[in-house]
Amino acid sequence: KQEVTQIPAALSVPEGENLVLNCSFTDSAIYNLQWFRQDPGKGLTSLLLIQSSQREQTSGRLNASLDKSSGRSTLYIAASQPGDSATYLCAVKGMAGYGNKLVFGAGTILRVKS
Amino acid sequence: DARVTQTPRHKVTEMGQEVTMRCQPILGHNTVFWYRQTMMQGLELLAYFRNRAPLDDSGMPKDRFSAEMPDATLATLKIQPSEPRDSAVYFCALRVLNYGYTFGSGTRLTVV
């Protein structure tokens, strides 16, 4: 059974800092990994999708890496801003035959102080 | 997300009442997922459909929950009878080729 863990559970940083959020998964047989952002009381917004054959994806100040063999992904946020404050969720999708289930981590609550 | 519309956004109901939540995907998305989010359990998959047929509903309490896709533009999740432990945010999601999953804004359900 796939399990996804996110560390740290919460993070508070001053504006302008670069930061790294960590995600680990127990079963390396994944199809892809997706990072989401969730603002309080809102739905999930997709940030980055990394296919199992890829090593990283970038979008603006965000960079996500994937090391499938070690079961790890990181989300790097450069020059953090107060508007980045949210909960960040990592989710993995299993290979075909394991269903279409997205398994989520518990999330990292990020607060960027101005 | 503009691709998925969920209604109602908020629902407060008394224990024992029937609750129906709706998800309207854009026509052409044939795989629909229902997730539930609570503080204790995080995000859990309840059920998903492809081409309107249920493929996996193992995460759903079948004695009180039912999920259907009456047509290609509408998916519903029904709870009857509702219980306080059903209080959660329920999300509908679509799988989009090369994009991954896109989620609706959710229905926040409170059962008192």
3-class secondary structure, A83: helix
Residue B110 has pLDDT above 50, yes or no: yes
Q: Which residues of B touch A52 (CB under 8 A)?
A: none
The 3 state secondary structure assigned to chain B is CCCEEEECCEEEECCCCCEEEEEEECCCCCEEEEEEEECCCEEEEEEEEECCEEEECCCCCCCCEEEEEEECCEEEEEECCCCHHHCEEEEEEEEECCCEEEECCCEEEEEC
Residue B59 has pLDDT above 90, yes or no: no
- Name which of B31, B42, B101 is nearest A106 (Cβ-Cβ): B42
The whole-angstrom separation of Cα B108 and Cα B8 is 8
- How far is A46 from chain B, CA to nearest CA, in Å? 7
Q: Output the tens digit of pLDDT for each of chain A's 114 residues.
A: 889 999 999 999 999 999 999 999 999 989 999 999 999 988 999 999 999 999 999 999 999 999 999 999 999 999 999 999 999 999 999 876 555 678 999 999 999 999
Q: Which residues of A touch B99 (CB under 8 A)?
A: 46, 49
Residue B11 has pLDDT above 70, yes or no: yes
- Judged by CB atoms closer than 8 Å, whether chains meet at B103 and A105 is answered as no
Q: What mean pLDDT is reported for chain B?
A: 88
Q: pLDDT for B66-98, tens place per residue?
A: 988 888 788 899 999 999 999 999 999 988 777
